[in-house]
Amino acid sequence: MSDISKDLALFNELVEALINEEEENPVAERIDSDKLYDSIDLSLNESAMIDDAFKTVLRNVLISTPKTATNLFFNQLFGGRQSKAVLGDLLAVMLNNSMYTYKVAGPQVGIEQEIIRQSCDLVGYGSQSNGTFPTGGSMSNYMGLVMARDAKDPNCRLDGMSKAMVIYTSKESHYSNAKNASFAGIGRNNIRYIQADSKGKMITEKLEEQIIDDINKGFIPTYVNATAGTTVLGVFDPIDEIADITEKYKIWLHVDGAYCGSVIFSEKYKHLIKGVERSNSFSYNAHKMLGTPLTCSIILVNDKKQLHDSFSNEADYLYQTDGDDFNLGKTSFQCGRRNDALKFWTLWKSVGTRGLEKIVDQQFELANVALEYIRSNPNYTLYSFDDSISICFNYKNIDPTTLCTALYEHQITVVGFGSFNDDTFIRLVTINANNKKQDILNFFKVLEEFVEKTPNLTKIKEMSI
Ligand X SMILES: *Cc1c(COP(=O)(O)O)cnc(C)c1O
Total binding residues toward ligand X, as defined by CB under 6 A = 15
Q: How far apart are CA 320 and CA 317, in angstroms?
A: 7
Q: How far apart are CA 90 and CA 96, in angstroms?
A: 10
Q: Are strands 390-395 and 423-429 parallel, antiparallel or unpaired?
A: antiparallel
Per CB under 6 A, 77 contacts ligand X: yes
Residue nearest ligand X, CB atom distance: 137
Binding to ligand X by CB under 6 A, coded x per residue (else -) over 268-297, reads -----------------x---------x-x
Q: 112 vs 256, which CB is nearer to ligand X?
A: 256
From candidates 138, 170, 384, 432, binder to ligand X by CB under 6 A: 138
Per CB under 6 A, 261 contacts ligand X: no
From candidates 74, 125, 259, 383, binder to ligand X by CB under 6 A: 259
- Contact in structure between 267 and 357 (CB atoms under 8 Å): yes
From candidates 22, 112, 214, 256, binder to ligand X by CB under 6 A: 256
Q: How far is the CB of 289 from ligand X (least distance, A)?
A: 10
Q: How far apart are CA 415 and CA 417, in angstroms?
A: 7
Beta strands in 286-379 (DSSP E): 297-301
Q: 111 vs 143, which CB is nearer to ligand X?
A: 143
Q: How far apart are CA 446 and CA 403, in angstroms?
A: 12
Q: How far is the CB of 81 from ligand X (least distance, A)?
A: 18
Q: 108 vs 173, which CB is nearer to ligand X?
A: 173
- Contact in structure between 162 and 326 (CB atoms under 8 Å): no
Per CB under 6 A, 174 contacts ligand X: yes
Per CB under 6 A, 227 contacts ligand X: yes
Q: 258 vs 356, which CB is nearer to ligand X?
A: 258
Per CB under 6 A, 302 contacts ligand X: no
Q: Which residues pair with 297 in a beta bridge?
A: 285
Q: 26 vs 136, which CB is nearer to ligand X?
A: 136
- Contact in structure between 421 and 415 (CB atoms under 8 Å): no
Angle (CA) 98 181 145, round 5°:
55
Interface region with ligand X, contact rule CB under 6 A, candidates 13-21, 27-35, 254-262, 401-409: 254-262
- Contact in structure between 416 and 428 (CB atoms under 8 Å): no
According to CB under 6 A, which residues from 150 to 169 bind ligand X?
none
Interface region with ligand X, contact rule CB under 6 A, candidates 96-104, 251-259, 325-333, 361-369: 251-259
Helical (H) or strand (E) element with 224: strand 220-227
Helical (H) or strand (E) element with 417: strand 414-420
Q: How far is the CB of 418 from ligand X (least distance, A)?
A: 11
Longest CA span, the chain: 75
Q: How far is the CB of 256 from ligand X (least distance, A)?
A: 5
Q: How far apart are CA 154 and CA 168, in angstroms?
A: 20
Q: 122 vs 431, which CB is nearer to ligand X?
A: 431
Q: 77 vs 398, which CB is nearer to ligand X?
A: 77
Per CB under 6 A, 172 contacts ligand X: no
Strand order in the sheet with 73-74: 73-74, 414-420, 423-429, 390-395, 380-382
Q: How far apart are CA 326 and CA 100, in angstroms?
A: 9
From candidates 165, 167, 258, 431, binder to ligand X by CB under 6 A: 258
Phi and psi for 21 in degrees, rounded to 5? -60, -40
Q: 81 vs 396, which CB is nearer to ligand X?
A: 81
Distances (CA, A) of 191 to 164, 166, 220, 225, 298: 11, 6, 12, 10, 24
Q: How far is the CB of 136 from ligand X (least distance, A)?
A: 3
Q: 78 vs 395, which CB is nearer to ligand X?
A: 78
Binding to ligand X by CB under 6 A, coded x per residue (else -) over 97-136, reads ---------------------------------------x
Per CB under 6 A, 370 contacts ligand X: no
Q: How far is the CB of 225 from ligand X (least distance, A)?
A: 9
The 3-state DSSP class for residue 164 equals: coil
Could you tell me how far CA 332 lies from the centroid of its own chain?
19
Binding stretches for ligand X (CB under 6 A): 77, 136-138, 174, 176, 227, 229, 231, 256, 258-259, 285, 295, 297
